[in-house]
Amino acid sequence: MSKLTALIAITFASFGAHAQEGASVEMGSTEAVINHFIAQNSNPQSALVRSLGGVNLGANIRDYFYKNGVLSVTGTAIDSKNSVFVLKGSKQKLYGYLVLHDSKRAFEYTTNSKGIVSAKEVPISKIYPDLDERFPIQTQAFANIAVSHPKYSPMALRQAPHIGPYQNEDVTRLESKPGSPYVFYLNTAAVMNGSTPLNGVTKEQMYRTWQSVADQYSMLNMNVTTNLAVYNAAKANNLLRTGVLNYVNQDGRSNAPLHSFGTTAAGTLYRNSSAGFDYGYGIGMTAAHEVGHQMGMLHDHGGSGGEYFEGIPAFQWGPIMGNYWMGGSWANQLFTWSKGEYNTASNFEDDLNIMNVEESVPYAVDDNQSGKPLLIEANGDINPQRNFGQIERNTDSDSFMFSLNSAGTLNASIDPIEYLRMLDIEALVYDSANKIVARSNLSVNRSAEFNNQTLAAGNYRLVIKGGAEGTPQHGFSNYSSLGYYAIKGALLGKVVDTDPVLKSGVPLIGQVGTTGGWKHYVIDVPAGMTKLQFSIAGGNGDADLYAQLGARATSTSNLCKSDGSTSNETCSLNQPAAGKYYLSIYGYAAYSALSVSASFSK
């Protein structure tokens, strides 16, 4: 990272006081433009001086980053400090803009199919969609609507860092996906006094503003954080994987520049603390919306809302890039990403594709790729802290297997457990012949449930996936039914253990596991044993070993463990009580060809 105050005057033939509509000038090939910035970084005196529409498009560069052929430049106009200059991309494509806030003029830089970069004057709302002056009064009216914030599911029990009610965390150090190289920083410094919010806002409300953004982007491998140190570290490593939204300690109209992720051009989030809504919910929704612009999305238009589609009340659904205020008081509101499937849509951009492909932010890793056992307690209870997952993509479905030796009864609820949720749940029970024996997707409720569902003896799969209601034209599809869920209830009947059973002293070979995944094995230990030993052996990856009596072990709940830096681990218990022991393996790094064994002796 280097900071320059040099002028990069990459501007072109003069067109008079204002550029004619549609007029543009060529800047040169993408390679030539990139090379100019590389040269300018080494020699501030090297510059091209041109103009368009009577405006000098040169820039004072604040932040410069170039890595592996990809460029990011952020700065201001030469002639105006109240401005923003952005250019980012590679030899395949460059995109950027220069916005002059005082004169309300904007110039957009785009790349054609031949790799030529051109500059063109555009309305300022093309770059800052929320600065369209046709909508100021109407939008403020939306802000004054009384809004009641969502209620947490009782199953929301910190299954992930951003899930569940506030628990006295330091709101300046929140992280949704710690360790991810992709980071979006919510800069709350201006509305905080140390770790205490200003203006009567509570820490719990501040937590929910962060939580709302974390919820709306949880399908991505992106860490939404309020921690400046985390942002600075990610920015230093690769600025192109970061974004920033500044909270501002005054009222105003929140706004953000388009496609500014990967640069240091920040969005602006005003407090509007006197607008009559719950701060955590209202500012949280607005933050998620503005970050959407920074990730590249325009508004979802249509209906009587025009620029901001107001959603479909019959299904309590609306796009977060539309007028989310109109659905703010719905009891079971669902705000999602969109690709313009509803009847009155005029913006058909694919929001998920923009984030994942255009901005190159990967999806979160599938946490249930090939199915996992439904974990059932000894009394038949299904615990939501042990049975949960995430629908990361609209093609994803999660399977939980269970077996019954005799007829049984299933009572279960499946809830979305995020606060500003996107997930509408469809749940299905399949038998061993792959026949659907039960299905649930509660209407305008977001959850699924099975009440006194009788099941014959046999093998079953409980499948969870994103739901839909109505039609895509009048309702919503499962396009953005994404997010975390949990399962709670009971399965009554003789349940068969679905974890592999070990025999004493007989290794189970060829076991494989993914990074961050768990595998579980069981062994029945008779009374009178003096020693019980668990072992794993492998030549690759890093598998960690944990053991527990009566339930699957975890890194925090175990009777013995071995978690070294290889896949060769052993732990043992003296005078083990009789019962069913679980050998649980955590993949600190993916492994294969692993041997798993347990042995007991007198």
The pLDDT tens digits of the residues spanning 330-362 come to: 889 999 999 999 999 999 999 999 999 999 999
Q: Is the pLDDT of residue 448 over 60?
A: yes
What is the per-residue pLDDT for 468? 97
**Helix, strand, or coil (residue 548):** strand
What is the per-residue pLDDT for 17? 38
CA dist 134 to 125, 307, 308, 410, 508, Å?
10, 9, 12, 55, 69
What is the per-residue pLDDT for 55? 87
CB 150 within 8 A of CB 198: no
Structure tokens at 220: 């991505």
What is the per-residue pLDDT for 377? 85
Degrees to nearest 5, angle at CA 388 with 382 and 390: 160
- Burial label for 218, CB within 10 Å (0-12, 13-18, 19+), is buried
Quote the CA–CA distance of 183 and 355 in Å, as a whole number.
13
Quote the CA–CA distance of 311 and 336 in Å, as a whole number.
10
Q: Is the pLDDT of residue 12 over 50?
A: no
Host H or E run for residue 408: strand 408-416
Q: Is the pLDDT of residue 16 over 70?
A: no
Return the half-sphere exposure (C-beta side, CA atoms, 13 A cut-off) of residue 562. 16
* pLDDT tens-place string over residues 194-211: 999 998 899 999 999 999
Quote the CA–CA distance of 285 and 213 in Å, as a whole number.
7
Read off the pLDDT of each residue in 245-258 and give the average, rounded to a whole number: 94
What is the per-residue pLDDT for 494? 76
Q: Is the pLDDT of residue 133 over 80?
A: no
What is the per-residue pLDDT for 542? 95
Q: Is the pLDDT of residue 274 over 60?
A: no
Q: Is the pLDDT of residue 169 over 90?
A: yes
Cα 150 to chain centroid, rounded: 19
Quote the CA–CA distance of 419 and 434 in Å, as a whole number.
34
Quote the CA–CA distance of 175 and 185 in Å, as a whole number.
9
What is the per-residue pLDDT for 47? 61
Contacts with 434 (C-beta within 8 Å, 6 or more apart), sequence order: none
* pLDDT tens-place string over residues 71-110: 999 999 988 899 999 999 999 999 999 999 999 999 999 9
Read off the pLDDT of each residue in 463-467 and give the average, rounded to a whole number: 98
Question: pLDDT higher for 44 or 396?
Answer: 396
Task: Look over the chain and give the mean of its residue pLDDT values, rounded to a whole number.
Answer: 90
CB 9 within 8 A of CB 49: yes
* pLDDT tens-place string over residues 512-559: 988 888 899 999 999 999 999 999 999 999 999 999 988 788 888 899
Read off the pLDDT of each residue in 262-286 and give the average, rounded to a whole number: 85
What is the per-residue pLDDT for 362? 97
Query: Confidence band (pLDDT; 50, 70, 90) for 69?
Result: very high
* pLDDT tens-place string over residues 495-517: 776 788 899 999 999 999 888 88
**pLDDT-wise least confident of 131-145, 213-227, 347-361, 470-484:** 131-145
- Burial label for 421, CB within 10 Å (0-12, 13-18, 19+), is buried
What is the per-residue pLDDT for 135? 61
Scored b (16 or more CB within 10 A) or e, 283-292 reads bbbbbbbbbb
CA dist 437 to 48, 380, 396, 461, 462, Å?
70, 20, 21, 10, 10
CA dist 368 to 362, 371, 402, 481, Å?
17, 6, 15, 17
**pLDDT-wise least confident of 53-57, 379-383, 384-388, 589-593:** 53-57
What is the per-residue pLDDT for 13? 28
Quote the CA–CA distance of 451 and 249 in Å, as a whole number.
50
Q: Is the pLDDT of residue 286 over 90?
A: yes
